[in-house]
Amino acid sequence: MDKYIANAPKQVQDKLREIRTTIRKAAPGATERTDYFQMPGYSYEGEGYDYDGMFVWFSYKKSYVRLHLRPPVIQDHKEELAGCLTTKAIVSFPSHQRISMALVKKLVKASLKVMKDLDRNLPT
């Protein structure tokens, strides 16, 4: 994690650190990893979790700080994400603008819930 952030442009390093801190507070006990998709991500161990228990990642690309979430989190929060570029699973926050950590926390918790709910719905 530290290496990924250190390799990002200096003007976004503080934002990446702040997102990292927010994710850790929103998901205590989650494992930080960079082995899945080669970007900072978080997982919980659990029998039956898809994506090896991964539920959120963050990255920097061009002039955006990005949060990668499980679908349908972004679709469920469209109104709150107005003004951000979005795909089915990525929110791109313009790096020159303030990022609401309250919103990041809400999105992380929603992504975690999607993963846990999906696990409960899998056939045994």
Exposed, middle or buried: residue 114 (CB in 10 Å: 0-12, 13-18, 19+)?
Answer: middle
Q: Show the tokens assigned to 39.
A: 């970007």
**pLDDT at residue 123 in the model:** 56
Rounded Cα distance between 106 and 109, Å, is 5
Rounded Cα distance between 6 and 50, Å, is 30
Residue 90 has pLDDT above 80, yes or no: yes
Domain positions in the chain: 2-99
Rounded Cα distance between 98 and 12, Å, is 11
Exposed, middle or buried: residue 30 (CB in 10 Å: 0-12, 13-18, 19+)?
Answer: buried
Rounded Cα distance between 67 and 45, Å, is 21
pLDDT tens digits along 5-54:
999 999 999 999 999 999 999 999 999 999 888 899 999 987 678 888 99
Residue 63 has pLDDT above 70, yes or no: yes
pLDDT tens digits along 99-112:
999 999 999 999 99
Query: 2-99 — its CATH code?
Result: 3.90.1150.200
